[in-house]
Amino acid sequence: MDQIDPLFDALRNNDLNGVTTWMESEAWKTLLQLVQIELPDLSSSMKQLTPTVTNEQSSNWTCSECTFLNDNSNQTCEMCSLDRNPAS
């Protein structure tokens, strides 16, 4: 997939122009067609993979040390490893 290399280069360099330029290329259009054939309901799958933050606010907790918003499944802060409910 040599045609994809310029996209990865652009992504690595945070080169938004490079990405948009690449998305106008034949390689991207071909890839889009492939995706549509393989995954006709990609957009609905993406929605399932991406939880809506507004509905899940109560399941997150904010670290009292670094104020990072952690997922409810974490018992320690992802950023500074502080306990969720530090013993006082």
List interacting residues with Zn ion (CB under 5 A). Answer: 63, 65-66, 68, 77, 79-80, 82
- Provide the minimum distance between the beta carbon of 39 and Zn ion in the complex, in angstroms, as a whole number: 37
**Cβ-based neighbours of 3, under 8 Å, separated by 6 or more:** 25, 26, 27, 30
In the bound state with Zn ion, the residue whose beta carbon lies nearer, of 20 and 62, is 62
- Provide the minimum distance between the beta carbon of 2 and Zn ion in the complex, in angstroms, as a whole number: 43
Six-digit token pair at 6? 């310029």
In the bound state with Zn ion, the residue whose beta carbon lies nearer, of 28 and 68, is 68
Bridge-partner residues for 69, per DSSP?
Answer: 62
Six-digit token pair at 46? 């993406």
